[in-house]
Amino acid sequence: MSAQGYSGNPAVQVTNQLVDNNSRSVEYLCGDCDSVVALKRGEPIRCRNCGHRVLYKQRTNRMVQFEAR
C-alpha cells in the first residue's frame, strides 16, 4: 500500500471537524448592561459582567432575501 496522499485516519479527521464545529461561539447582547457576550454550546446563559440572564442574539451581517408570491 502506498501512503502517498493519505493524511491519516478518516475517523480522527471527522472527530476533529466535530470538535471545531462545537468550539464556535455565538455573540449575544446582554439585556441589562448591553455588553457583548460570546457563548459556546453548553455554557450557561448568563452575562459575564452583570449576571443578567436575558441575552439577545445579534443580527447577522449577511444579506437575507426571500421571494414573496
pTM score = 0.56
Higher confidence at residue 4 or residue 28? 28
Tens of pLDDT, residues 7-42: 555 554 444 444 455 579 999 999 999 999 999 999
Could you tell me the pLDDT band of residue 46, with boundaries at 50, 70 and 90? very high
Asked whether the predicted pLDDT for residue 55 surpasses 60, the reply is yes
CATH number for region 25-58: 2.20.28.30
DSSP label at residue 43 = S
Asked whether the predicted pLDDT for residue 5 surpasses 60, the reply is no
> Helix, strand, or coil here: 51?
coil
